[in-house]
Structure 1
């Protein structure tokens, strides 16, 4: 199948919330002074979620094995949610807004035709981080949630995704990441406990003393 015919068969998401998408991109058109900051944040802002996971790991070194298991599980949870979202993206095959609504205002460049829209990969990463940190550190999870909302909004603001792409990403990522975190806490704690007694101990335990209470 050629790329052209594949695009013709792809799903047109503008029929769901195209008017809301246009309202937001019209706001982007009227706030051009925000365009560059929003475009920079929508990509580089993902680094914030990596930093929050690193903070979770650093703090877990002063806690117990269960906390460290959850900390090390966080990036696995995010990767798992992202993989599930990528499968959904191929199945739904929703064309990007820039192809369905070419006359709207777009801050971001239009991706290749085979780069589908639903669900938003950036939002998947953000929402998965929220869920991955929930059992480890509620404060870090709450901070991640605030940045996740901002990340989702910027994806629509720059014209990369419809609102339902962002919502769908959260609906997929939150339970997948949370359940993965639960599973790894249950089944990987023993492995982490063994590793913490070996050469990796400095990375897993802050001191030579006993673990702090969870």
Structure 2
């Protein structure tokens, strides 16, 4: 069996079935489309309320995820592989532009964040976030906007970026955080002095 056929068979297995429940479809659509915004809100709250260690984790996740996402965007534009609905395969529950399918930007974001924490002192949180990433992967296939191979591609890109970037992070993270926190203090100093944020 070819990789293409295996990819298609897995898609047909994971994509929303014809008689799926309304609850399951809405759950998958929330995970596929809206969970990323919930994640952004959580990180914003953690940034303003967290200590240096928390902020360091957020900066690390942001940098590694941004690089992963940039590579994902370039590959998507260059390869421009068709999405399932472009090929008239399966059912589609959410609207999406007919941009390149491989690799998945959503999976790039969630995997990039997850690995940033997994390869840190917060490894347990990283494990949880990896589970969340694969939940997102399932949902994006379920709602019909990605193939399973798009998720695997993004996952391994995030893994490679995190592994190769770790030596540089270990070398420069303290100086980088000193600069970022200095800027943070300058911008939000009045609120920090009032102890509304940290």
CA 1:201 to 1:69, structure 2 compared with 1: closer, same or farther past 3 Å? farther
CA-to-aligned-CA distance 1:45-80 (integer Å, 9 cap, x gap): 1134435645765686164xxx75443222111111
Q: Where do 5+ consecutive residues of structure 1 fail to align?
A: 1-12, 208-214
Which residue of 22, 30, 45 corresponds with 2:19?
30
**TM-score, normalised relative to structure 2:** 0.77
* Greater RCO structure (CA 8 Å; 6+ sep): 1
- Structure 1 window deviating more from structure 2 (33-42 vs 188-197): it is 188-197
Could you say which residue in structure 2 is the equivalent of 1:173? 158
Per-residue deviation, 1:116: 0.8
Structure 1 Cα separation of the partners of residues 97 and 154 of structure 2: 18
In 1, are the aligned partners of 2:14 and 2:138 still within 8 Å (CA)?
no
The question of 1:97 aligning with 2:81 is answered: no
Structure 2 Cα separation of the partners of residues 90 and 151 of structure 1: 22
Structure 2 Cα separation of the partners of residues 169 and 117 of structure 1: 11
Structure 2 Cα separation of the partners of residues 179 and 141 of structure 1: 17
Note the aligned Cα RMSD (angstroms): 3.1
CA 1:148 to 1:103, structure 2 compared with 1: closer, same or farther past 3 Å? closer
Q: Where do 5+ consecutive residues of structure 2 fail to align?
A: 194-198
Per-residue deviation, 1:168: 0.9
Aligned residues: 187
Which one has the largest radius of gyration? 1
Per-residue deviation, 1:193: 3.1
User: Per the alignment, in what secondary structure is the counterpart of residue 116 of structure 1?
Assistant: coil
**TM-score, normalised relative to structure 1:** 0.72
User: Per the alignment, in what secondary structure is the counterpart of residue 86 of structure 2?
Assistant: helix
